[in-house]
Amino acid sequence: MTVKETFKTEGGSINATGANSITRTFMVFPYPAFADADAAMLSSVAVGTTYTLNTETATFTGTRSWSRVEGQGGVWQFSLQFTTAPAGSTATIQTQGNTRATTKQVWRTASSWGDIAGGWNNPSPADIGGKPVDSGGSPTSVVAVDWRFETIEYKNAFPFLDALSGLVGKRNGEDYEGGLQGTVLYLGFSWSYDTQNGLWAIRHQFAVDKKQYHAEQVAMCDGNGEVLKLKRYDDAIESYNARHVYFVQPFETADFSALPDFAPKVPE
């Protein structure tokens, strides 16, 4: 077999994290079958092989591309990528989001709740006040703003799924991506692997609630599960509304430092 480097270069590219990458090109022959040519290439330059780029050390992580020399059935050209990014580091980050109108069921409305008693992390069972909008103790639908965004990070090593799984259903314990503490909820993630560039793509999904911090309104009930109601009069018309409504916070806060930090993206 023959594996021969066609040229060396100290040029390359710099990714979003400031890591350098260079490409080294090799000719591999004579191998009619691609699998044999690829095996010969990796036996000559194994994953983990380093290359000095000025004063930095670049490592071959397995990312490579190939082409076949026209008219030469057994001659292959491989381009190997060496990077100075440490194993497992983020190669690049992308982000996108959307804002839309939705509805939610509530018993009370208000232009702004302000800081509720007990704080949004552990709301007090005190009545939240506001304007009654329920019908005889049944909640009604009101328009709400649904903010969602997704961050995609590309890594050259398998992501730490256990650490990410522990954050699902948690809110940000500190300001995150332009969102105040407790307003950004981590909905979950998905991942995939691209064999062409050797990178893992991890998609992180988030929801934002700047008004109620993802807390939910709950009406106080009696022993039979019936909402406690209060008789009211509006222009001499008798009606009933939930007597006591309070907030429940189902989502704990957590440290989001394991998640990618791109740039402020929460709508103002």
Mean per-residue pLDDT, 100-109: 93
Q: How far is residue 86's CA from residue 80's CA, in Å, rounded to a whole number?
A: 17
Please say if the pLDDT value at position 256 is more than 50.
yes
Residue with tokens 């979003």: 16
With a threshold of 0.85, does the pTM exceed it?
Answer: no
For residue 100, which of 32, 51, 149 has the smallest C-alpha distance?
149
CB burial of 167-201 (b: ≥16 within 10 Å; e: otherwise) equals beebbbeeebbbbeebbbbbeebeeeeeeeebbbb
- C-alpha distances (whole Å) from 138 to each of 27, 108, 126, 240 are 74, 11, 20, 10
Residue with tokens 């965004």: 149
Backbone angles phi, psi at 35, to 5 degrees: -60, -40
Q: Encode pLDDT of 162-175 as tens digits.
A: 889 999 999 999 99
CA angle 255, 256, 257 (to 5 degrees): 95
Q: Encode pLDDT of 164-212 as tens digits.
A: 999 999 999 999 988 899 999 999 999 998 776 667 889 999 999 998 9
Q: Where residue 264 falls among pLDDT bands split at 50, 70, 90?
A: very low
Return the domain boundaries, the chain: 2-86, 92-254
Question: Which range has the worst mean pLDDT, 41-45, 102-106, 155-159?
Answer: 155-159
Residues 6+ apart with CB under 8 A from 111: none
Q: How far is residue 27's CA from residue 3's CA, in Å, rounded to a whole number?
A: 6
Arithmetic mean of pLDDT over the chain? 85
Please say if the pLDDT value at position 268 is more than 60.
no
Please say if the pLDDT value at position 236 is more than 80.
no
Q: Encode pLDDT of 15-73 as tens digits.
A: 555 667 788 899 999 998 999 999 999 999 998 898 887 777 888 888 888 998 777 77
Residue 265's pLDDT is 47
